[in-house]
Structure 1
Amino acid sequence: MTILLFVMLGLFVFMMFRRNKKTQQQQAAMQSKFAPGVDIMTSFGLFGRIVSIDEAENKVVIELSPGIEATVHRQAVTKVVEATPEEAPVVPDDASSLTWTGTELPRTAETPDETIARLNKEDKKDN
């Protein structure tokens, strides 16, 4: 019975160290991908692009949107985002035609004629 208890304890300790080693390897592999221009996600959910990395102070400057930068600790960057062409947002040439209604963002730009036709259809459905 005592031998079984020591075997279980040894197995538990082995699994714990193995998990820690695996996590450290994954984190080191991810941090090796860090370079200016890489899209990332922070641990608190901000998405951005790396502008610069300060190895001495463990700081990363990320660009959240054009002209908006934030400095975060290197360990706050938890994921390297690799966007596929299907996931990349479609931005129309004329972004001024996009408006926000407060409830949802438009997925594509509409021409004024398409907007009028869509609104007329919605009015007919409501009546």
Structure 2
Amino acid sequence: MTILLFVMLGLFVFMMFRKNKKTQQQQAEMQSKFAPGVDVMTSFGLFGRIVSIDDAENKVVLELSPGNEATVHRQAVTKILDKVEEEAPVVPNDASSLTAAGADAPAANETPEETIARLNKEDKKDN
């Protein structure tokens, strides 16, 4: 009975060390992919692009949006985002998608950049 207990304890310790080693390997592999221009996500949910890496102090400078940068610890970057190719929007060839609101109504498949441009135009019209 005591032999079975020691075997189970040994198996538990082995599995624990194996999991730690696997996690360390994944972390090292991700750290090796760090380079300026790579899109990443931090452990606290910030998305950004790596601007520079300071290996001496373990710091990474992220560009969160144009002109906004944040410096975070290298270990706070937990995920490298894969670039997804954007598909061209599907435009129906009939008039069923038009609304009664007119031409100034926002499109359902409007990109964020188009939305910002449209809102800026509307803001300038109001002033």
Is 1:70 aligned to 2:91, yes or no? no
Q: Which runs of 5+ in 2 are unaligned?
A: 88-109, 121-127
Unaligned runs of 5+ residues in structure 1 are 100-127
TM-score for both structures, normalised by structure 1: 0.71
Instruction: Provide the aligned C-alpha RMSD in A.
Output: 2.0
- Whole-Å Cα distance in 2 between the matches of residues 19 and 72 of structure 1? 27
Q: Which residue of 2 aligns with 1:96?
A: 117
| CA-CA distance at 1:71 after TM superposition | 0.3
TM-score, normalised on structure 2?
Answer: 0.71
Cα distance, 1:85 vs structure 2 = 1.4
Tell me the residue number matched to 2:58. Answer: 58
Q: How many residues align?
A: 98
Q: Which residue of 1 aligns with 2:103?
A: none
**How do 1:26-41 and structure 2 match up within 5 A?**
26-41=26-41
Q: Does 1:49 align with 2:70?
A: no
Residue 13 of structure 2 is matched in structure 1 by 13
* Letter aligned with residue 80 of structure 1: I
Look up the equivalent residue of 2:70 and give its one-letter code.
A
Q: Secondary structure at the match of 1:19?
A: helix
Describe the shift of the 1:10–1:94 C-alpha distance in structure 2 as closer, same or farther (beyond 3 A): closer
Q: Residues 58-78 of structure 1: CA distance to partner in whole angstroms, max 9, x if unpaired?
A: 000000000000000000000
The offset of 1:92, in angstroms, is 5.1
- Aligned partner of residue 23 in structure 2, secondary structure: helix
